[in-house]
Structure 1
């Protein structure tokens, strides 16, 4: 998978060639020397977006009810009551 970089002017002048280049990997399109857009095939785009989960999905625990968890009671030696007098 190669990365191709073209200027926006090159992109406008030869869209067909740039689309063919996207078959071999992402094409970065620059505007005044700075990357501004990326051209991907639909397969590459779907591969990238379909596998990524949101932070909510990553933190969700749908099977949490199946987990047996009984936290141990704190030992009184671990803390000291505050004297508020």
Structure 2
């Protein structure tokens, strides 16, 4: 794993370089000499978060609006809730 450090100015001027470096390890982005952000590959991020996806992430997936959901009708009404 390679750790890369870029100033925020370097990051703004060459984001492509940062993206390529993130494939090999984290990229620390500094602001006035202090680490302010870390850029990770998506795979590294998923490993850190345990691979879980939030409901917001799941519902905001690209192309989800074109997905068809076919729910078969059973004809039976749901039974009333039992609050006893």
Structure 1 counterpart of 2:19: 19
Give the unaligned 5+ runs of structure 2: 52-84
Which protein has the bigger helix share?
Answer: 1
Give the unaligned 5+ runs of structure 1: 52-85
SS at match of 2:37: strand
- Structure 1 stretches (4+) deviating beyond 2 angstroms? none
TM-score by length of 2: 0.59
Q: Count how many residue pairs are aligned between Structure 1 and Structure 2.
A: 51
Q: Whose radius of gyration is greater, 1 or 2?
A: 1
Q: Distance in 2 between matches of 1:42 and 1:18?
A: 13
SS at match of 2:50: helix
Structure 2 counterpart of 1:40: 40
Displacement of 1:2 in angstroms is 0.7
Displacement of 1:9 in angstroms is 0.1
SS at match of 1:2: coil
State the superposition RMSD in angstroms. Answer: 1.0
Query: Which runs of structure 2 are paired with 1:58-73 in the superposition (5 Å)?
Result: none
